Amino acid sequence: MREIVLDTETTGLDPKTGDRLVEIGCVELLNQFPTGRTYHVYINPERTMPREAFEVHGLSDAFLADKPRFDDVADAFLDFIADGRLVIHNAQFDMGFINFELKRSGRSTIGDDRVLDTLQLARRKHPGSPASLDSLCSRYGIDTSKRVKHGALLDAELLAEVYIELNGGRQADLGLVAASTSTARLRAVGRKAEARPQPLPSRLTAEEATAHRAFVETLGAGALWGRYLQTEEPPAAASGSH
């Protein structure tokens, strides 16, 4: 089965009050395995970016000024998702914006029957436990060290890994191969994400980074995550969280 793991970034919380899409990221799965095909685009919202939203994703008015409008990318987006099932965390939020933009551009909206909400899936599987994307990554041991701000394509990649785990995961050996190869294919195939306007600070505290390094060291010298630690500097202590 073909599925599209999808995430968006926006100017705010409600399209009915004038908020707009500014980024879409998609990862293609076939039978719950990443194919390497992705879709990613930044969108000019045709309005100013509220500071609260900028602090979440770091996308400024200047950065988005020369990006295409939704109407300019809508057909390419629809061609990519085609008839695949959409896998989204807190789908009501993202689909509210996507269907608002589709309707605004004179196109047909996407029905709920095509959408699977991983937030609801996680709540059914782990009742009473935190079900945010960050919490689920932590539960399943998915590395989020590259995620210093919200970004649609990176969050879609993380959600794809979470979704696979919510459905039982892969065999241990296959999972290790997928962790090293699928990410490389996602980076090399499809439309590349543009660089962020400026480097963004780490969301990890120094204590969290130290604890993570200590855990990785218990895995042995050949552990996959050790490769990341060799190329990363420990983050400075964070002044606060978003």
Active site residues: 150
Nearest of 194, 17, 203, 5 to residue 97 by alpha carbon: 17
For residue 165, which amino acid is it? E
**Buried b / exposed e along 45-66 (16+ C-beta atoms within 10 A):** beeebeeebbeebbbeeebbee
Alpha-carbon distance of 161 to 32, in angstroms, equals 9
Alpha-carbon distance of 158 to 176, in angstroms, equals 15
* 238 neighbors 201 (Cβ within 8 angstroms): yes
State the DSSP code for 35: E
What DSSP assignment string belongs to 157-218? HHHHHHHHHHTT---HHHHHHHHHHHHHHHHHSSPPPPPPSS----SS-HHHHHHHHHHHHT
